[in-house]
Amino acid sequence: MTTISVRVDDHLKKEAQELYRDLGLDMSTAITMFLKKSIQTQGIPFSVSRYSPETMQAFYEAEHGLTKSFPSLDALFEDLNDED
């Protein structure tokens, strides 16, 4: 066995301890479960993303020329209002 020291916000620690206690776990067991699941999945065992799916789709469309263009700002707003 080994010891891992981690610095976290006091409030975060308290909330996590309360959650894990309700689940019948202690902090050490919960962290061990996280580490084992990380190894099993060969990654973070939950989705981690910097941008929302909608933002990622917008990036894709922009990179692949799939966006609309408008001759004027008025035309843009007219199109936006038509989509309601």
Q: What is the pLDDT of residues 66-83, one digit of tens each?
A: 998 999 999 999 999 986
Asked if residue 67 and residue 41 are part of one domain, the reply reads no
* R_g over Cα of the chain: 23
Encoding tokens for residue 72?
């004027």
Half-sphere exposure of 15 (CA within 13 A, CB side): 5
* Tokens 């789709």, residue located: 57
> Which pLDDT tens digit goes with each residue over 20-40?
999 999 999 999 999 999 999
Identity at 65, one-letter amino acid code: G
pTM of the model: 0.57
Asked if residue 1 and residue 23 are part of one domain, the reply reads yes
The total domain count for the chain is: 2
Asked if residue 40 and residue 1 are part of one domain, the reply reads yes
The boundaries of the domain holding residue 66 are 53-82
Contact 79, 68 (CB under 8 A): yes
What does DSSP assign to residue 25? Answer: -
The mean per-residue pLDDT over the stretch 54-69 comes to 91
